[in-house]
Copies of this chain bind each other. A is one copy, B any other.
Amino acid sequence: MADVEEGTTFAPKFDSSGLIPVVVTSARTGEVLMLAHMNEEALACTLKTGEAYYWSRSRGHLWRKGEESGNTMRVVEMRTDCDQDALWLKVEMGGAEACCHTGRRSCFYRAVPIGKGTVAGLSLTFVDTKRLFEPEEVYGHAHAAKGTLKTQN
């Protein structure tokens, strides 16, 4: 434990599904773009190429971010946390700089009100409505209409 937290050996801890969660922020704006996951292969590809690869839980395969949409992610810095069960990537985005499959910059485009009640009945507020690309144009209308685009990029 001491070495995991205070040592210099990289020892990423994957969960029971073989995944590690990855917080992704924009190196330019500092905002959180998404929370994604890597398996060992995605991590290895990212470390080797400097381009962000993830494991798509919804589609069940490895993907290079932006391979379809052009919204790639060049890794400026990677960090691990105290117990090495999470990663943080600071990235420079390519293309339209839209991380989310809905066309928005960040996946976190809605705010949850605080102090207004418990979960049931809370109304979200859109804090970012700007689409930097049109999902239908990038992924095709059928996919977009079915809402099958989670992590499709």
Binding site for B on A (CB under 8 A): 1-2, 5-10, 12, 21, 23, 25, 30, 32, 34-35, 40, 43-44, 46-50, 75, 77-83, 86-88, 100-102, 107-112, 114-119, 122-127, 146-147, 150
Q: Are B80 and A108 in contact (CB under 8 A)?
A: yes
Q: Are A147 and B1 in contact (CB under 8 A)?
A: yes
B contact residues around A35 at 8 Å (CB): 21, 23, 35, 81, 86
Q: Are B21 and A25 in contact (CB under 8 A)?
A: no
B contact residues around A117 at 8 Å (CB): 47-48
The CA-CA distance from A63 to B105 in the complex, in Å, is 33
The CA-CA distance from A62 to B123 in the complex, in Å, is 25
Q: Are B75 and A110 in contact (CB under 8 A)?
A: no
Give min CB distance, A35 to chain B, whole Å.
4
Nearest 4 A/B pairs, CB to CB: A1-B147, A81-B107, A79-B108, A10-B122
Q: Are B111 and A48 in contact (CB under 8 A)?
A: no
